Every structure is written in structure tokens, then in C-alpha cells.
Amino acid sequence: MSSVLTFTDPDADVATIRSMSREELTETGRELLRESRKHEARTVLAGAALAERVYREHLAGRSETSVWGSVIEHAEKLGRAEVSLQFGVSRSKAGSWVALADLLEKFPLIRAAYLNGDYSTNRISIMARAAQRGGDIDPDYIEGDDSEMSFEEIVLDYGSRATTDPVLSQQLDAALISMSPDSVTEERDTISELVGDVTITAEVAGHSNLDAVIPAHYGVFLKSQIDTLIDERTCRKDPRRLGPLRVIALGEITGVPGAHLTCDCGLDTCPARVALLTEPADAEDAQACEALLPAPAEAVEPVAEPGVPDPTNPATPTEVPVPFGRALVMPDAPVLTVLIDPDGVLVPRLQGYGPIDPTYATTLADVAKTIHYPESARAAGPLIPQISDRPQAPPADPTGHGSHTVPPPGALTYAPSATLRAEVLANDAWCRYPLCGMPSYLCDLDHWRPFNHTDPEAGGWTALDDLIPLCRADHQRKHLGEWVPTLHTDRRVEWRSRRSGQVIVTYPR
Ligand SMILES: [Zn+2]
Ligand SMILES: [Zn+2]
């Protein structure tokens, strides 16, 4: 394999790689990646050890009473700065190496996996931080599970799945909430107090940079408002990128004077324009429409500065009061929705965000719609990823009829009902294709066994047992048939490569 590469003759290695077969590329690439991760893990430990050496040398010879606070901090900074200079990395990168190496001291299993080349530095950092956050969890606490896994082992179990790093973060957050809800509530308060902020700083060329750490439901609300405004005011023919549209939408929603979103397609037939120009039929429509239209000029309050005239700068006749804009609320945007388990076993989820602690879910009850997890999701228990630790559930019925002998209501209709869709989404949080992080609410529901349009009873039925969420791109990929899925009764999906027989498993949550 990679021994066919010279590692000394770049041109030769480029030529060798270009001449490899698909199988050779797969195998060599995988092995090279593992080797590079092994090297990176050792680089991180070497950097951290160098920082530690510099730190200790700097403090050597000092009496114990003189080593405190700012002296220690100074020595730590010296250590990081030396790593930065010697390795040619930023000081913050050097700092993150030191912090990671420190964390890994406490988690030997995670450190071994890192040194073994199993994971990237970013993924290992996510895992080590989660293990640290769950430090106080009593392993026996794990409800409804009789396995003897420590939290560190649970973290490794999650880490080993074919998930993206952000999905892993959310799964570990859910595991923590499930096992130690109070500590996550406390952490949320700490973040609000210490990190919660909205900063707007000058960029270049007439732009500002907006950066904010806000409660999850603020984020979900703002995002859905922006998305809804764009949906209503523009059509698919608008030539602009989505980014600039979001900027104008944010401006209009927060009432920036002059910020107003209209479609740039230039077509008389633009559906978004037609909707705006249509005369409202009755008073109720008129009211709904008013919310969408810019405030009429006469309704805009001019800026009324209480009038102490400044004698040094008398108002000139050319000064025109600038009208304030008006904050806009999109009435048709989806409302905040929280998924809860009345028995308190499953971790609450804020739709459009992910897992939240139960206390947060309770405080959101006044402003959000609360819905219950369906029975099918509750049956699976709080920590779905431990399926791997349980006896393997068999594949779902290959007919696509699941556990049903007669079609349940709606099973013979191609499109799932809203209730069924909600049930699938409550079971499966993300697109079920390996290594996709698309939240399930943005996905298509795919019939695992194809629906038969001419004889619906004979094909896969439109029921939980035959539906999985797949994002649009992966939905198309599935139909190409390179990787063939098998749905299991515990909602694991095994994706088998038709070429190599290799299997990748994905889990519902
Ligand atoms: Zn248009
Ligand atoms: Zn996907």
C-alpha cells in the first residue's frame, strides 16, 4: 500500500497516486489518513510537552511562595509562545494543543484512540471536552441500561459512528443532558452570564461584522423569520446568492431604515411580486398583508428629538428627519416547537436547534408549542447510540410493511401525513445517510422499500417502518445504488457498498 510511495520524490508519488485503481486509492487513502492522524496526535503531545518544559524551566529556582497567579500565567504564556515559534503555529493553536493534552491525561481510552489514528484532532477535542463535562456522572445512573459502560466509553461509542463533528457534539450534549441534566442547566446559565453577547464591529469597505452568542430559541426564531421573509419576497429566479438576501432580511426584520427585500428576478410573472401586488380581498387579508408590506409613509413616526436647540449648530433647512424603520414580524414563520417526553426519559429537543435541558424546555413552554415524543421514539430509550452494546435487532421486514399485516391508515398514500412525518422526524434527528449532518426536518422522507404507485399494497408502505429521512442530495445518491441501505427494526441503517461489500451503520439519534 503506502509503501509504494517514496515520500521523498514528490513527482514520483503524484504519478503513483494517479495510476492507482479505485480500490488502491480507497485503501491507500484510508491508511495515509490514519498515519497522518497518528503523527498529528504525537505532534500535539510533543508541543504540549515542550510548553510544559519551558514553563517548568521558567519557574525553576523560585521559592514556592513566589509562584502564584500572574507568575504562573506568565510562565504558561512563555511556554505557548515558544511552541508557536518553534512549530510555526499560532499561539491560540499552541494553547489548544496544551489544553487538549491536559484533558487527555484524564481520559486514557480517548487518548489511546487518538494516538491510534482513529480520530482527527477536532473530533478528539469534542470527545475529550464532553468526557470532561460528564466527569461527575455515576456510570450506574444510566437509566434503562444494564451495561457497565463508563461515560468515557460512551463518548468513544458515539465518536466511532459515521457522523459529522457537529452531529457528534449534539449527540454528546444529549447524552450529558440525559445523564446529568442539572449540570447542563448550570452550564447554560454560566454561558449566558459569561459569554452571552452581541458584538458589532467595523469590517472594511462599508461593512460591519456581527457576532453573537444568544439563547438557542433566539437563534431559531431569528433564522426562521429570515428564511420566511426570503421565501415570501423572492422567487427562485432571483439571481442573488442567499447570503445577501439574508442580510437584507435581517435588516428589514430588525427595522433598519430603508432595508426592504424585493425579488430581483425582473419578471412580471414573479410569484413573489404578484403576491405583493394582489389587492387584498377582505379586511382580514388586508391585515395579514400589512405585515408583509413596508409601513406606509404616513404611519412612520419621525424622529422626535426633544427640542433643546444647540446654539453652536443651528438646524439648517436642509435637515430632513430620517424615519425609523419598523421591526417586522413574519406571522407565517414556523412557531418555536419543543419536543418533550412526558415521562421525562427522552431528552427534550428544540426544533431547528437540537437537544436542550429539561429546565430550558420548561421555561420555553410559555413561548413555544410543546409536542410529545411519539410512542415509537420513547420505546427506544434515552441513549440510542448504545444500540451497538445491545443484541442486534433484525432487519425490518423486506416487504416494507414493517410490523403491519394490514396497511395502517395512510399507508397506501405516497405522501406521508403531517403526523407521520412528525413521528419519523422525532425518531430520526438527521439525514440517515452516513456522515451527513442535515437535520431531518429539512429532509425528504424516503421509502426504504419503494412505494408501488400502480399497486400500493404490494410496495413499501407509507409507515414509520418503511420511511427514513434523507436530504435531497443523499436521496438522489441512494437511488444511484452505490451504497444500498438495510433498515433494521431498531432503526439502525446498514449501508453496504455494492462494489466492496463494506458496511457503514447509521443510527437514528
Ligand atoms: Zn421573482
Ligand atoms: Zn444527507
Ligand 1 midpoint to CA 227 (Å): 16
Distances 410 to 182, 419, 462, 463 between C-alpha atoms, Å: 41, 10, 7, 8
Q: For residue 274, name the pLDDT band (cuts at 50, 70, 90).
A: low
pLDDT digits (tens, 9 = 90+) for 309-347: 455 555 555 666 666 667 788 887 788 999 999 888 899
Three cell numbers, residue 344: 421525562
Quick one: average pLDDT of 481-506? 92
Cell 510544559 locates to 52
DSSP state of 199: E
Ligand 2 midpoint to CA 215 (Å): 27
Ligand 2 midpoint to CA 498 (Å): 19
DSSP state of 459: S
Q: For residue 61, name the pLDDT band (cuts at 50, 70, 90).
A: confident
Ligand 1 midpoint to CA 272 (Å): 6
Quick one: average pLDDT of 436-448? 93
How many whole angstroms separate alpha carbon 174 and alpha carbon 191? 17
The structural domains of the chain, with segments of one domain joined by +, span 18-194, 215-275+324-333, 391-506
How many whole angstroms separate alpha carbon 135 and alpha carbon 290? 54
Ligand 1 midpoint to CA 382 (Å): 46
Q: For residue 301, name the pLDDT band (cuts at 50, 70, 90).
A: very low
pLDDT digits (tens, 9 = 90+) for 396-434: 878 878 778 888 888 888 889 998 999 999 899 999 999
Ligand 1 midpoint to CA 266 (Å): 7
pLDDT digits (tens, 9 = 90+) for 106-137: 999 999 999 999 999 999 999 999 999 987 67
Ligand 2 midpoint to CA 473 (Å): 6
Going through 137-193 in order, the beta strands assigned E by DSSP cover none
pLDDT attached to residue 156: 93
440-455 burial, b if ≥16 CB within 10 A, otherwise e?
beebbbbbbbebbeee
Ligand 1 midpoint to CA 174 (Å): 41
Quick one: average pLDDT of 383-406? 71
C-alpha torsion sign, points 386, 506, 428, 468: negative
Ligand 2 midpoint to CA 486 (Å): 16
How many whole angstroms separate alpha carbon 251 and alpha carbon 246? 9
Is residue 247 left, alpha or beta, with left meaning phi > 0 and alpha meaning psi from -120 to 50? alpha
Ligand 2 midpoint to CA 439 (Å): 9
Give the ligand at the shortest distance from the Cα of 436: 2
> Is residue 71 over pLDDT 90?
no
DSSP state of 324: P
Ligand 2 midpoint to CA 127 (Å): 23
pLDDT digits (tens, 9 = 90+) for 238-248: 999 999 999 99
Give the ligand at the shortest distance from the Cα of 268: 1
> Is residue 5 over pLDDT 90?
yes
Which residue type occupies 89? V
**Among 198-212, 251-265, 311-325, 383-397, where is mean pLDDT lowest?**
311-325
Ligand 1 midpoint to CA 239 (Å): 9
Ligand 1 midpoint to CA 242 (Å): 14
Neighbours of ion ligand 1 (CB under 5 A): 235, 263, 265, 270
Question: How many beta carbons lie within 10 A of that of residue 362, not counting itself?
Answer: 13
How many whole angstroms separate alpha carbon 348 and alpha carbon 370? 10
pLDDT digits (tens, 9 = 90+) for 449-464: 889 899 888 888 888 8
pLDDT attached to residue 298: 42
Ligand 1 midpoint to CA 268 (Å): 8
Quick one: average pLDDT of 352-370? 94
Three cell numbers, residue 223: 433564522
> Is residue 1 over pLDDT 60?
no
> Is residue 270 over pLDDT 90?
no
pLDDT attached to residue 312: 54
> Is residue 292 over pLDDT 50?
no
**Among 142-156, 159-173, 365-379, where is mean pLDDT lowest?**
142-156
Ligand 1 midpoint to CA 228 (Å): 15
Answer whether 234's CB lies under 8 Å from 244's CB.
no
Give the ligand at the shortest distance from the Cα of 164: 2
* Ordered alpha helix ranges (H), 134-282: 151-159, 165-179, 181-194, 216-233, 242-253, 271-277
* Ordered alpha helix ranges (H), 234-304: 242-253, 271-277, 283-292
Average pLDDT over the chain reads 85
How many whole angstroms separate alpha carbon 233 and alpha carbon 248? 11
Give the ligand at the shortest distance from the Cα of 235: 1
> Is residue 207 over pLDDT 60?
yes
Quick one: average pLDDT of 90-103? 96
Ligand 1 midpoint to CA 238 (Å): 5
Quick one: average pLDDT of 87-109? 96
Ligand 2 midpoint to CA 437 (Å): 7
Ligand 1 midpoint to CA 262 (Å): 8
> Is residue 284 over pLDDT 50?
no
pLDDT attached to residue 286: 40
Nearest one of 366, 364, 372 to 340, comparing CA atoms? 372
Judge residue 86's burial from the number of C-beta atoms within 10 Å of its C-beta, 0-12 exposed, 13-18 middle, 19 or more buried. Answer: middle
pLDDT attached to residue 79: 94
Please report, for the chain, how many H helices and E strands are present, in that order. Answer: 17, 11
**Does residue 403 sit in helix, strand or coil?**
coil
pLDDT digits (tens, 9 = 90+) for 461-490: 888 889 999 999 999 999 899 999 999 888
**Among 307-316, 371-380, 438-447, where is mean pLDDT lowest?**
307-316
> Is residue 494 over pLDDT 70?
yes
Answer whether 235's CB lies under 8 Å from 264's CB.
no
pLDDT attached to residue 173: 94
H or E stretch at 495: strand 493-497
